């Protein structure tokens, strides 16, 4: 017996005929194709997707830039980049990949598209006119506006997605201006604002382990947590990208972007389900509860040799260090400080989120902060450490600090680098790990006091140190966990 398909079935049929987004012939246009970000992050990620068989079968990678680079030179450039920043590619496999790689020089502007339109036309001739476009803006934020306008002027927003790097705006006002422009060209669903900290395995574990394990989930609130530390010290300097850095500074480069997003991953309320939109909404909506930063709870620093870098003015007031005490005004987090810190040229490199617990009820009133904490290590493949107070083996009941560590790479094979995983999400149309307009608006609202005259003065710190002493004082005597092998007890 045959039945007449109902409306929903025919709609389903239609859907089934659409190519899976990942199978759709696609051209990735990489603006800033020969730049630093493309070199370190984007090109190695795209090639990793290729070697894993996760790029569409029919694809083009089109580098764009002002210079006049030949297709062959760009192909060689990517080969060099992979050799320097990833694993040297297998020659045979790379030769196949390179056949899909083109370069469109001469820049890309409203009044002068350079050679990009011709190269896209060529791709359409070869792959079909319905080729999907991904506009990947690996360019300095100052260039977002002109490139977005050029996409509109040359009618390239149809069947397209746009990926924006950070910072997406520098203040509430410039965020709105950019976002309004972007929304005049693309629908929100086409826009992917990338924050690669959200693509890290350990960051995603901040909520997954919490919702899966009572051991974590039940303590995830002010009753049990004394303070949260989000600590990203870095030993590296910024001499190889002085122009970008001096115009950006640590607050825009790291605080209002990566660290705020990670704070939101910690602070979010349980979503009604683990569906992508629900988790994204939960993360983005808690940012609206971030209390605007109080400048007297923020410490800014600059490492001493910063102004020796070529291109940095002697009187630069750009901060290379920031530490801030952030408050999240939800019932769950009343009274719990979120301490955020990051800086360049510091004593060590680490990326750690520490939930420092209050001592358990009972006779042991004082337990060292670093022996009563859950620590998520975001670096590399990620790890989760449970830092505990246990009995020191021996005849007496003497407490001792100890820790156990779960390396996430040991859980299962197949972990991808954050950029690889996020670009894969762009291809497949999954926006869960990207920031939303509403979330970024809230982030800039919380950041706004730092753009007023009340912004704290920059304190100089020694290269290779832990930054200004005042940052230590923000921790209410607990100290930054990573610096203190044995921290003072808190209760
Ligand atoms: C980038 C910042 O977004 O993140 C850099 O611009 C920072 O200043 C980098 O060093 C750290 O990220 P990761 O995880 O790739 O080391």
Residue range 272-288, pLDDT digits in tens: 999 989 999 999 999 99
Active site residues: 258
Question: Distance from the CA of 134 to the center of ligand 1, in angstroms?
Answer: 23
pLDDT 10s digits, 247-267: 999 999 999 999 999 999 999
Question: Distance from the CA of 348 to the center of ligand 1, in angstroms?
Answer: 14
Identify each DSSP E strand in 94-190 by its residue range.
101-104, 132-137, 160-164
Closest of 458, 47, 474, 40 to residue 236, by C-alpha: 40
Instruction: Name the strand (E) or helix (H) holding 323.
Output: strand 321-326
Instruction: Name the strand (E) or helix (H) holding 226.
Output: strand 225-233
Residue nearest to atom 5 of ligand 1 (CA): 253
Helix boundaries (H) for 189-241 = 201-212, 214-217
Return binding residues for NADP(+). Answer: 32-39, 66, 166
Residue nearest to atom 6 of ligand 1 (CA): 253
Q: Are 432 and 424 in contact (CB under 8 A)?
A: no
Question: Distance from the CA of 41 to the center of ligand 1, in angstroms?
Answer: 10
User: CB burial class (10 A; 0-12, 13-18, 19+) of residue 433?
Assistant: buried
Superfamily of domain 21-165: NAD(P)-binding Rossmann-like Domain (3.40.50.720)
Q: Are 352 and 481 in contact (CB under 8 A)?
A: yes
Report phi then psi at 201, rounded to 5. Answer: -55, -45
Residues with CB under 6 A from ligand 1: 234, 253
Looking at ligand 1, which atom is closest to the CA of residue 197?
14
Assign 485 a pLDDT band (cuts: 50, 70, 90).
low
Question: Do 21-165 and 197-416+438-483 fold alike per CATH?
Answer: no
Residue nearest to atom 16 of ligand 1 (CA): 379
pLDDT score, position 425: 95
Looking at ligand 1, which atom is closest to the CA of residue 236?
10
Closest of 43, 24, 23 to residue 33, by C-alpha: 43
Distance, CA of 219 to CA of 456 (rounded, Å): 35
Looking at ligand 1, which atom is closest to the CA of residue 41?
15
Assign 328 a pLDDT band (cuts: 50, 70, 90).
very high
> Which DSSP string do the residues of 241-261 spell out, in sequence order?
GHHHHHHHHHIIIIIIIIIHH
Of 3.10.310.30, 3.30.930.10, 3.30.360.10, 3.40.640.10, the CATH number of 197-416+438-483 is 3.30.360.10
Pocket test for ligand 1, best of 45, 231, 232, 234 (most atoms within 8 A of CB): 234
Q: Contacts by 214-219 with C-beta closer than 8 Å and gap 24+?
A: 216/374, 219/355, 219/357, 219/374
Per-residue pLDDT for 9 more than 80? no
DSSP code of 60?
Answer: E
Closest of 357, 433, 367 to residue 400, by C-alpha: 367
Helix boundaries (H) for 394-452 = 418-428, 437-447
Distance, CA of 17 to CA of 198 (rounded, Å): 32
Assign 104 a pLDDT band (cuts: 50, 70, 90).
very high
Residue nearest to atom 2 of ligand 1 (CA): 253
pLDDT 10s digits, 337-395: 999 999 999 999 999 999 999 999 988 878 888 889 999 999 988 999 999 999 888 99
Range 23-36 average pLDDT: 95
Domain boundaries, the chain: 21-165, 197-416+438-483
Closest of 384, 433, 335 to residue 212, by C-alpha: 384
Q: Strand order of the sheet with strand 338-343?
A: 399-407, 383-391, 373-377, 352-357, 225-233, 338-343, 321-326, 298-303, 458-461
Closest of 136, 133, 147 to residue 178, by C-alpha: 147
Distance, CA of 478 to CA of 464 (rounded, Å): 22
pLDDT 10s digits, 45-81: 999 999 999 999 999 999 999 988 999 999 999 999 9
Report phi then psi at 320, rounded to 5. Answer: -105, 5
Looking at ligand 1, which atom is closest to the CA of residue 166?
3
Residues shown for the chain: 491
Around Cβ 16, how many Cβ atoms within 10 Å?
8
Question: Distance from the CA of 125 to the center of ligand 1, in angstroms?
Answer: 38
Residue carrying the six token digits 């979120």 = 338
DSSP code of 302?
Answer: E
Pocket test for ligand 1, best of 86, 168, 253, 261 (most atoms within 8 A of CB): 253
Distance, CA of 318 to CA of 355 (rounded, Å): 30
Do strands 225-233 and 191-193 pair parallel, antiparallel, or not at all (unpaired)?
unpaired
Question: Distance from the CA of 215 to the center of ligand 1, in angstroms?
Answer: 31
């Amino acid at each position: 017996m045959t039945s007449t398909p109902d409306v929903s079935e025919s709609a389903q049929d239609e859907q089934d005929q659409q190519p899976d987004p990942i199978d759709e012939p696609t051209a990735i246009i990489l603006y800033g194709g020969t730049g630093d970000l493309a070199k370190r992050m984007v090109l190695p990620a795209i090639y990793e997707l290729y070697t894993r068989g996760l790029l569409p079968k029919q694809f083009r990678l089109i580098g764009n830039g002002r210079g006049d680079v030949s297709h062959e030179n760009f192909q060689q450039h990517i080969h060099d980049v992979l050799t320097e920043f990833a694993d040297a590619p297998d020659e045979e496999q790379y030769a196949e990949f390179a056949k899909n790689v083109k370069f469109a020089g001469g820049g890309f502007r409203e009044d002068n598209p350079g050679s990009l339109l011709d190269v896209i036309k060529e791709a359409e001739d070869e792959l079909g006119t319905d080729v999907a476009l991904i506009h990947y803006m690996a360019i300095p934020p100052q260039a977002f506006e002109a490139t977005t306008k050029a996409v509109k002027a040359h009618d390239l927003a149809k069947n397209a997605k746009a990926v924006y790097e950070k910072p997406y705006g520098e203040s509430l006002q410039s965020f709105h201006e950019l976002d309004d422009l972007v929304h005049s060209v693309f629908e929100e669903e086409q826009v992917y604002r990338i924050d690669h900290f959200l693509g890290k395995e350990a960051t995603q574990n901040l909520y997954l382990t919490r919702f899966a394990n009572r051991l974590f989930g039940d303590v995830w609130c002010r009753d049990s947590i004394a303070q949260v530390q989000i600590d990203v010290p870095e030993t590296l300097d910024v001499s190889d990208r002085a122009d970008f850095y001096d115009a950006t500074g640590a607050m825009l480069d790291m605080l209002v972007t990566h660290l705020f997003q990670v704070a939101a991953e910690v602070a979010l309320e349980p979503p009604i389900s683990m569906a992508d939109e629900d988790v994204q909404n939960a993360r983005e909506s808690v940012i609206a509860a971030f209390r605007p930063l109080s400048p007297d709870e923020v410490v800014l620093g600059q490492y001493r040799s910063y102004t020796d870098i070529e291109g940095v003015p002697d009187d630069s007031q750009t901060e290379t260090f920031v530490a801030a005490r952030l408050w999240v005004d939800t019932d769950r987090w009343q009274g719990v400080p979120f301490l955020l810190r990051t800086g360049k040229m510091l004593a060590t490199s680490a990326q750690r989120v520490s939930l420092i617990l209050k001592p358990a009820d009972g006779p042991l009133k004082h337990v060292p902060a670093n022996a009563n904490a859950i620590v998520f290590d975001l670096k590399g493949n990620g790890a989760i450490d449970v830092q505990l107070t246990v009995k020191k083996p021996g005849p007496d009941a003497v407490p001792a600090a100890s820790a156990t560590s779960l390396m996430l790479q040991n859980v299962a094979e197949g972990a991808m680098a954050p950029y690889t995983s996020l670009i894969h999400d762009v291809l497949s149309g999954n926006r869960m790990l990207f920031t939303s307009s509403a979330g970024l608006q809230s982030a800039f609202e919380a950041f706004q006091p730092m753009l007023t005259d009340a912004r704290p003065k920059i304190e100089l710190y020694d290269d290779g140190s832990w930054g200004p002493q005042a940052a230590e004082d923000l921790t209410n005597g607990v100290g930054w966990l990573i610096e203190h092998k044995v921290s003072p007890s808190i209760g």
